[in-house]
Amino acid sequence: MVKVRTKDIIEKFDLELLSGEEGINRPITTSDISRPGIELAGYFDYYPADRIQLIGMTEMTFAEKLNESERDYRLERLCTDVTPGIIITRGLEVPEALLEASERESVPVMRSKQKTTRFSGLLTNFLESKLAPTTAIHGVLVDIYGVGVMITGQSGVGKSETALELVKRGHRLVADDCVEIRQEDENTLVGTSPELIEHLLEIRGLGIIDVMTLFGAGSVLKHKKISLVISLENWDQQKQYDRLGIDEEKVKIIDTDVTKITIPVRPGRNLAVIIEVAAMNFRLKRMGMNAAEQFTKRLSEVIDENGKD
């Protein structure tokens, strides 16, 4: 499914469409942007035609120094059947040959008043966000003390009820039931809620509640980086659960490894408090304070001392 089309960047950045209107539905498949200076110099062997072409002051002043036939020919070659668009920055005047070629090939030519470098950065960030790999996971995403915690587990294990208790304790809900995740870079996963169920929680026996209406705007968050996954599972007497927290389990989401903690569920356990403490302990570990490692070190020292005696 096409995620971004040329018309999307026209609307996003309020660009002036000069020609090639028939091509505004062309797909943009890469976040890479090309500044075709070497192509204007005549070298088209590796022309990245599938990228947005960005022409600034440097490229335009160089083109003006060419003789008319060379300039027109090279500008025409910038317009191909796969080029999603050509953007002129700084509000510069556009050569007539480029406008004519863009109309023939249906390549949108757009103009921005912004400086080239700044616009290039804004456009790249926008495209990377829109074109990032995405997935959806059944679970709940909550911001706890600044840590994005995704709570997973089988249906009915108590994810939404735990999230409700966390919201009551002052934390913020991002998504319930379905968490849409995009990988913004190699180690960054950002979770959001589908628009249809944004700010909503489903509590069995109670129904659907609007968290923002009940607890205020400070109880919800639109998106959050996922740092920790907590898996809730029904207590299994035959299973050995981690009691020290030395071994760190990981789960792969898209291409990113995220720390995972498995918490067994049984009557009498306050899951909200446990998850809250897990988030605080995760923050401490990132700051270099690991209680499990310190305990193991002290235990080893005691054993060594008793062995010497």
- pLDDT single digits (tens) 294-308: 767 776 777 777 766
**Contact present, 168 and 276 (Cβ < 8 Å):** no
Q: How confident is the model at residue 207, as a pLDDT?
A: 92
60 and 173 assigned to the same domain: no
CATH number assigned to the domain comprising residue 285:
3.40.50.300
Q: Is residue 87 part of a domain?
A: yes
CATH number assigned to the domain comprising residue 16:
3.40.1390.20
Rounded Cα gap, residues 280 and 172, in angstroms: 15
**Contact present, 122 and 31 (Cβ < 8 Å):** no
Q: Are strands 178-185 and 172-175 parallel, antiparallel or unpaired?
A: unpaired
Secondary structure class of 249 (helix, strand, coil): strand
Q: Is residue 306 part of a domain?
A: no
Is there a binding annotation on residue 202? yes
Is there a binding annotation on residue 160? yes
141 and 283 assigned to the same domain: yes
User: Residue 148: which domain range?
Assistant: 134-296
Rounded Cα gap, residues 275 and 43, in angstroms: 59
Residues that are catalytic: 138, 159, 177, 243
264 and 206 assigned to the same domain: yes
117 and 141 assigned to the same domain: no
23 and 172 assigned to the same domain: no
**Contact present, 128 and 122 (Cβ < 8 Å):** no
Q: Is residue 308 part of a domain?
A: no
Q: Is residue 303 part of a domain?
A: no
Q: Is residue 127 part of a domain?
A: yes
Q: How confident is the model at residue 297, as a pLDDT?
A: 75
Q: How confident is the model at residue 273, as a pLDDT?
A: 93
Structure tokens at 253: 């989401």
Is there a binding annotation on residue 158? yes
Rounded Cα gap, residues 181 and 254, in angstroms: 9
289 and 141 assigned to the same domain: yes
Q: Is residue 227 part of a domain?
A: yes
Q: How confident is the model at residue 2, as a pLDDT?
A: 67
Kindly give the parts of the chain with pLDDT less than 50.
none
Q: How confident is the model at residue 191, as a pLDDT?
A: 95
**CA 308 and chain centroid, separation:** 55
88 and 141 assigned to the same domain: no
124 and 192 assigned to the same domain: no
Rounded Cα gap, residues 225 and 6, in angstroms: 28
281 and 171 assigned to the same domain: yes
Is there a binding annotation on residue 154? yes
Q: Is residue 186 part of a domain?
A: yes
Is there a binding annotation on residue 140? no
Is there a binding annotation on residue 307? no
194 and 112 assigned to the same domain: no
Phi, psi of 293 (to 5 degrees): -65, -40
> Of 97, 131, 165, which closes a domain?
131
Q: Is residue 305 part of a domain?
A: no
Q: How confident is the model at residue 161, as a pLDDT?
A: 93
Structure tokens at 151: 């709570």
Q: How confident is the model at residue 238, as a pLDDT?
A: 75
